[in-house]
């Protein structure tokens, strides 16, 4: 197992991750694993965390990712 430490993760972003994970009925760890998995497998069209969570207008990729996360 690998431990990932993310420097610069402020309270606001941590809270946002926790709320989105709760909304999707996931743990924060599972949500982050899925974000990383998606980024690795779709490196040419990776949405930003902001677009995935809807804090800025989502690109098509962000919307597709949101829908895929809800379906899983």
Q: How far apart are CA 32 and CA 48, in angstroms?
A: 13
- Residue 34 CB-density burial (10 A; 0-12 exposed, 13-18 middle, 19+ buried): middle
Residue pair 66/52 in contact (Cβ under 8 Å)? The answer is yes
- For position 21, what pLDDT does the model report? 86
48's tokens: 């930003």
CA dihedral sign of residues 17, 23, 28, 34: negative
Q: What is the pLDDT of residues 53-69, one digit of tens each?
A: 554 444 555 666 667 76
- For position 52, what pLDDT does the model report? 58
Q: What is the pLDDT of residues 17-47, one digit of tens each?
A: 888 888 888 888 888 888 877 777 766 665 6
């Amino acid at each position: 197992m690998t431990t990932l430490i993310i420097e610069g993760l402020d309270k606001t972003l941590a809270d946002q991750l926790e709320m989105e994970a709760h909304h999707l009925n996931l743990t924060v760890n599972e949500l982050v694993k899925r974000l990383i998995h998606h980024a690795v497998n779709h490196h040419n069209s990776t949405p930003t965390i902001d677009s995935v969570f809807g804090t800025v207008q989502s690109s098509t990729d962000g919307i597709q990712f949101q829908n895929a996360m809800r379906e899983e």
